[in-house]
Structure 1
Amino acid sequence: MARLNAQKKLMVQLPVDGRISLFTKDKLASPFGLGWVPSNDAPMGGKSTIDIKLADAGPDGSNDVAAVNVVATIRPGFAYPWAGLAFLPGKQAMEATDLSAANTLKFKVKGDGKQYSVGISVEGSYIPISVRFTAPEEWKEISIPFSQFKGMDPSIITLIAFNAGPQPGEYRFQIADIRLLKE
């Protein structure tokens, strides 16, 4: 019974448009949680690096929806090297948050044509459940139903990350208009 009460307490009200990326020149903001942060394998002894900056323009050259440039260098040094951009939906790092009001993750991306992953971490596991995507040269909207994240429980999400890796090398992509939706 206590478990159910804890989950109810951490349920968040999603924005009407579902947008969880509120990027500005001053902040990588979000409508709830701790927001967006650079993420890499350094805490695990890895040597990958990440640089995140606001892009000059959003999808299709507009300034209506801001985008961020993500530049990652993946280096050997950890069994599964990564670097990217992570969203922390809780009020504190790795706090389980009930995002079951949504069943789909959508975002716009463009980049170097390489493969990336969206990883969702849940309470009780340090290994994210991941789905691969390609960052094409032109802006593209990607839609991933939660059902593609095999075994993921949306009521206990601790992190959503967009990562380069594990192959060593340089990676570049832009991401914008990240949304959690009920479809």
Structure 2
Amino acid sequence: MLFCIRNYVQIAPHTYGAKNNTPALLREQQELMLGQVKNTAMINISDLVENVKDIHPRNKRAIGERLACLAMDKVYGQFTGAYESPRLHEARVMKRNLEVTLEGNFNTLHSTTKEVTGLTVVDGTGKQVAVNARLKGKTLQIPLRGLKAPYQVYYCFDEATIGSLRTDAGMPVLPFRTAKIEVK
């Protein structure tokens, strides 16, 4: 049975020069729309940006291939290749770590750089710290050394950061911010 699907591309990282972090807020709203509007799907292209000063990613073929894979899967029920990016599932304090779990059609996460790019924690004092994480399956484990509760985790939640987190199939992780995480 064929049906109409509304698909769209999440806006790319770019030096927009916007005030109040509006590009990150727009990306967040684009992701939220997935759960609000029936038969809607989105792809992320942050890994296809070569230059954050150029608003138009040059690799149009890869963007088209992701959209085609999305359509083949959602409309025709034929999985022809990866197109979905992992999204935030939950964040919690476990022992001396923040554990951020992602969800989606993937098995494991990896980083394209030695240190995870784009990952920060804001602690209860308002201090924002770039952090690294151990990657374990679908989970990021972030050490809490020197940070005070409550915590909030951000991943590429700004205008132009291109993060380093990818799935085993090479798909980039969607930008996110967590709610404040209290220690229980």
TM-score normalised to the size of structure 2? 0.32
Q: Of the two, which has the highest radius of gyration?
A: 2
Considering fraction of residues, name the structure with more strand. Answer: 1
Which structure features the higher share of helix residues?
Answer: 2
Give the TM-score normalised by structure 1: 0.32
